Amino acid sequence: MDSTTDSATNAARQTTKIEVRDIQKIYRVKKENGGGYDDFVVLKDVNLDVYAGEFLTLVGPSGCGKSTMLDLLAGLIPNSGGEIRIDGRVITGPAMDRGFVMQAYALFPWLTVQANVEFGLTIKKVPKTERRAISGHYLELVGLTNFANRYPHELSGGMKQRVAIARALAFDPEVLLMDEPFAALDAQTRETLQDELLELWEKTGKTIVFVTHAIDEAVYLADRIAVMGTNPGRITELVNIKLNRPRQGSRGSAEFGWIRHKIWQYLQPEEAVKENFPVVGAADVAEVIDSQATL
């Protein structure tokens, strides 16, 4: 197969959009027995460059700090050390350049579906007719045209998540931060939205950081996968995915299977499994990924 990196990836290599430098996140947690507090180091010395226009996925075991990392990038929580820069500017809080879809969909319960989707546009003072057109487009994309006038409590979990996705897309930020946005969806809707997201990304050149538990999803979407380890949370491996785009139909290919297996291996906690569990077609894996251990 042609293993050259695709043009989107090459373009992505030119400029760094997000710089994560020596990031630490420490929570003070109550001691189990008795009084006092302990420092709980969630993230330790995390360094990462995300390139402009890149699609980066973040995978790692539950509790390793993926959501914490995304919350830091969004500026929703303060860090305990290091800094994060976007376009060279240190971030100090949430801003209009970043849109996010959090793990627990955070919709405004007092607003209708349509008003939720239009929320960012209202803040940006986009005129009403234009707002309607944009929200209409994204509600159609996520299959919720007929629910525009409902309120969040009248929707299922998956529907709420789709509203949150439509809201983030309608807002049209340069950087999109997505925390397991498709986890609550059925397989078919999930695959449709993955393709829609890729299409939108290819058209708009957004920089996307996407957290997922699903290795398949991480491989299918990514230019690069950052693999995280736990205790303390850190990036252990950066894997460049050299599957050609568009990727429709690639899920069943041998190359896809090798990459999936390799990522699975990187996620194993024991070195023995990492080293001694051979990947079928291991010799060929080097053709489709470049990986770089960060430790």
CB nearer ligand ATP, residue 61 or residue 136? 61
Phi, psi of 85 (to 5 degrees): -120, 140
The strand pairing partners of 237, in sequence order, are 227, 293
Calpha distance 45→115 (Å, rounded): 40
CB of 28 to ligand ATP, least distance (A): 8
Specify the pairing of strand 37-51 against strand 55-59.
Answer: unpaired
Residues in contact with ligand ATP by CB under 6 A are 27, 29, 40, 42, 60, 62-68, 103, 213
Binding site partner of 251, from ligand ATP, Mg ion, none, Cβ cut-off 5-8 A by kind: none
Task: Give the start-end residues of each E strand in the chain.
Answer: 16-30, 37-51, 55-59, 81-86, 89-90, 98-101, 175-179, 207-211, 224-229, 234-241, 289-293
Do residues 23 and 60 make contact, with C-beta atoms less than 8 angstroms apart? no
CB nearer Mg ion, residue 1 or residue 104? 104
The strand pairing partners of 43, in sequence order, are 25, 233
CB of 68 to Mg ion, least distance (A): 8
CB nearer ligand ATP, residue 6 or residue 71? 71
Residues in contact with Mg ion by CB under 5 A are 66-67, 103
Calpha distance 184→163 (Å, rounded): 13
CB nearer ligand ATP, residue 89 or residue 213? 213
CB of 66 to Mg ion, least distance (A): 5
Binding site partner of 27, from Mg ion, ligand ATP, none, Cβ cut-off 5-8 A by kind: ligand ATP
CB of 26 to ligand ATP, least distance (A): 9
CB of 127 to ligand ATP, least distance (A): 38
